[in-house]
Amino acid sequence: MPKVWVTGAGGLIGNYLVKTAPHFAPGWEVLPLTRQLVDLTDNSAVRTLFQRAVPDLVIHCAGLTQTGPCQQQPALAHQMNVHVTEFLCELGSNIRLFFFSTDLVFDGVKGNYIETDPIRPLLTYAQTKAEAETIVLENPRHSVIRTALNGGVSPKGNRGFNEELRRSWESGKTTALFVDEYRCPIPAAVTARTIWELAEQDVPGLYHLGGRERLSRWEIGCLLAKRWPHVQARLEQDSIRNFKGLPRSPDVSMDSSKIQRLLSFPIPAFSEWLEQNPDEPF
């Protein structure tokens, strides 16, 4: 059986990749890499593990992915998001590698971005992802997956955008949601299925992967409030123009038609998926 590493297996997307593998990738032997198994910043340990049984594919989900901690600790963000990726690319120079990047590499002025649009990351998190993208794409066997806002149930209950919103409401907080900040949310379960289908093909390159629906933060919140009728949803409309914090990208919606052409199923709209999967934990 071909072997695949899934880094960041304790996170949202990595966990979905591991738990859906028996269904969507029964022909793969999956090694879930968590911090408990190996410290990805320890080059010697990673090299030893790699040489013990060279994988046929690395799906690299791990990284420092929260914008606040990245902004506060830029050196750590660079180490986790750039140096770790660079070393994995070096080790896996002769195999395939998928690297997860972000829609936030765009400044959000245009919206509906395609893969050939120029990037302009605004914050440290996105800047480190953009730098790593360049390294990954130097190898014609490697791929970059720019993913949109992912939701689902993570092992620690704090990685999906839906989990953060639900915790706020359950603690009695009111959330101000922007009516003019847009994403293409996608369930991590759909992301995982997409990646496993991509793994069965030899089509390296740069891909966008988001839901088939451009939604504002407010619209996303309203959909989730409807999903959880037993949770007292406290939400109010706001505008990104009123935000006084770090710069935000107002519209990083992406066109995912390039990756869609490779798939056996239609990437769903977020609202459609919620309606069609009422019993799916979310």
270 close to 278: Cβ distance less than 8 angstroms: no
Count CB atoms within 10 A of the CB of residue 139: 17
- Which neighbouring-strand residues pair with 149? none
CATH assignment of 3-276, given 3.20.20.210, 3.40.50.720, 2.60.40.10, 3.90.1150.10?
3.40.50.720
Rounded CA separation 163/141 (Å)? 35
Rounded CA separation 76/69 (Å)? 9
The pair of three-digit structure tokens given for residue 131, joined into one six-digit string: 């730098």
Instruction: State the pTM of this model.
Output: 0.96
Locate the domains of the chain by residue range.
3-276
Rounded CA separation 118/105 (Å)? 9
Cite the DSSP H helix spans in the chain.
12-24, 43-52, 67-72, 74-78, 84-91, 124-136, 161-170, 188-199, 217-227, 257-260, 270-276
One-letter amino acid for residue 215 of the chain: L
Rounded CA separation 115/155 (Å)? 31
Tell me the pLDDT of the chain (282 aa) as tens digits. 999 999 999 999 999 999 999 999 999 999 999 999 999 999 999 999 999 989 999 999 999 999 999 999 999 999 999 999 999 999 999 999 999 999 999 999 999 999 999 999 999 999 999 999 999 999 999 999 999 999 999 999 989 999 999 999 999 999 999 999 999 999 999 999 999 999 999 999 999 999 999 999 999 999 999 999 999 999 999 999 999 999 999 999 999 999 999 999 999 999 999 999 999 999
Q: Please name the residue that has the structure tokens 């420092």.
A: 64
